[in-house]
Structures are given as structure tokens and as C-alpha cells.
Amino acid sequence: MGVNEVTVIYDGQCEFCKNALSWVDKKLVTNAIDFHTADLTIYKLSKEQCSREVFVVYQENTWSGAAAVAFLLKARGNRVSSAFITALGPISRIGYRWVANNRNSLTVKILSRLLAQ
């Protein structure tokens, strides 16, 4: 892993996750790792942790969930969206948790399709 490389550990079996990462990758180069097939010990993470939320590793720092999304948005150049997610704090974490727990809902499927376009 390079010093300036942004590593994203995500659920490679989740359509929403794949589409969101593809959208991020249009403006930010990432080292995307599917937690199902990765050696997570390198990152001091477990499959159980990674099954619940996305992780971002950058320069010896690790973010998860909504904080990871905010980091990726900022690194991608979407500073206002990142600041909004960060400012909302607990509300963003609740929203992230809802999306993560409802990946097969119509709402998340629509969001996924929008990201894919």
C-alpha cells in the first residue's frame, strides 16, 4: 500500500457499494478491496466489522461508515457534501446505518441506479 494511496475496504457483493465506489473512482483513484476476499489482518480489521460498514485507510488513519464517506467525498473534490455529512454527525451515522441495513430496498436500489449513470 502506497503512502498516498486511498484504500477502500467495501462489500464487493453489494450493488450499491460497487456503484458508489465506481462513482468515486471517476475523480479519485482508490485501491478498492472486497472484504470477502481480502487479508484484513493487514488493516487490523475483521470480516464482521467490514460486513457492517465501509472502511477507508489513508496515511495510517482509518475511517468507517459515514466518516469514511465524508473522507471520500472530500478527497474526490465534493467538499460541500463532505462538510454537510460531517456537520450532521449522528444524523449522518443513522442515515449511513439505514442504507447499510436496507441495501435491497427500493430507495437504495434507485440511489444505486443513479450512481451508476
**Cα–Cα distance between 94 and 81 in angstroms, integer?**
16
Give the pLDDT band (50/70/90) at residue 3: low
Cβ density class 71-108: b for 16+ within 10 Å, e for less:
bbbbbbebeeebeebbeeeeebbeebeebbeeeeeeeb
**Cα–Cα distance between 74 and 82 in angstroms, integer?**
5
Q: Where are the domains of the chain?
A: 6-116
Burial class (CB in 10 A: 0-12, 13-18, 19+), 6: buried
Count of Cβ atoms closer than 10 Å to residue 116 Cβ: 13
- Look at residue 1 and tell me whether its pLDDT is greater than 60: no
Residue pair 26/54 in contact by the 8 Å Cβ criterion: no
> Number of helices and strands (H, E) in the chain?
6, 4
pLDDT of residue 5: 87
* pTM (two decimals): 0.91
pLDDT digits (tens, 9 = 90+) for 55-113: 999 998 999 999 999 999 999 999 999 999 999 999 999 999 999 999 889 999 999 99
pLDDT of residue 117: 86
